[in-house]
Structure 1
């Protein structure tokens, strides 16, 4: 079983604006550099994506994979898990949003666990996860704060 890595960032926006950007999976190729394409395969009764296929090109790591999403009713978290992947054996992730102060700032915590088909030394895997999460959080912050 893969270990989890966690990182947080503070975004100058209320949680609902951040979650709207997270939930707009079709727009990820516009702002998430490694995501080349997304395809919504299934939506829930609430209209939110339930299964999404991603085409990823992060330099040496290229993959096509499908994730299944679980959106919290309170709008403050979303989790996902791998359904199918070419390079990944498993992926579990989660965004948790925590309003700060008057609600115009939000702490976004990203947790990720990835296990690849090919074995990878733990130190290298953790470094790759840290880079993925750091980039994802910074790109999310830039996207949300740029949409004012």
Structure 2
């Protein structure tokens, strides 16, 4: 059983700008260093991505994963679950957004990852935390 890693940051950008970056999953490779490729497989009638295949290179976590996106709590939250992957057995996460004021947004990112090979839990937790921290930093750079 994997443990969830969570981090929260305040980004100096309006909520709409943060949403625009986070909700444009196909453009992740433009600003997220851990996402090398993002192919949108399925979208809904509003153009929101429902399924995407991502090539991930986040240190020890290197894989091709297909993620299903859940927009039911949008725009306050966007969550995803892993449909399939080459190596990972679990990759679930969520971004939760909250406007602090007109020029700043609180973003919380939670991530749970499991691998199908014996890897110490401490290493997985460290990799999750590094992935989250890097993603939040890169998001802030993208919209700030």
For this structure pair, what is the TM-score category when the shorter chain's length is used for normalisation? over 0.9
Tell me the matched-pair count: 144
Once the 2 structures are TM-superposed, how far is the Cα of residue 34 of structure 1 from its aligned partner? Answer: 1.9
Q: What are the superposed Cα offsets for residues 66-125 of structure 1, whole Å, 9 maximum, x if unpaired?
A: 00001245511100000000111011100001111x332111000000011112211111
RMSD: 1.3
Distance 2:124 2:109 in 1: 16
The offset of 1:13, in angstroms, is 1.4
| Residue 82 (structure 1) aligns with | 82
Matches within 5 A, 1:22-61: 22-61=22-61
In structure 1, runs of 5+ residues without a counterpart are none
Deviates further, 76-85 or 8-17: 8-17
Aligned to 1:18: 18
Alignment gaps of 5+ in structure 2: none
Contact 2:38/2:54 (<8 A) preserved? yes
1:33-52: CA deviations, max 9, x gaps? 12111100000122100000
**TM-score when normalising by structure 1:** 0.91
- Which structure 1 residue ranges, 4+ long, deviate > 4 Å from structure 2? none
Residue equivalent to 2:96:
96
Structure-2 change in CA distance of 1:138 and 1:26 (3 Å): same
Helix, strand or coil for the counterpart of 1:2? coil
Task: Indicate conservation of the 8 Å contact 2:60/2:127, yes or no.
Answer: no
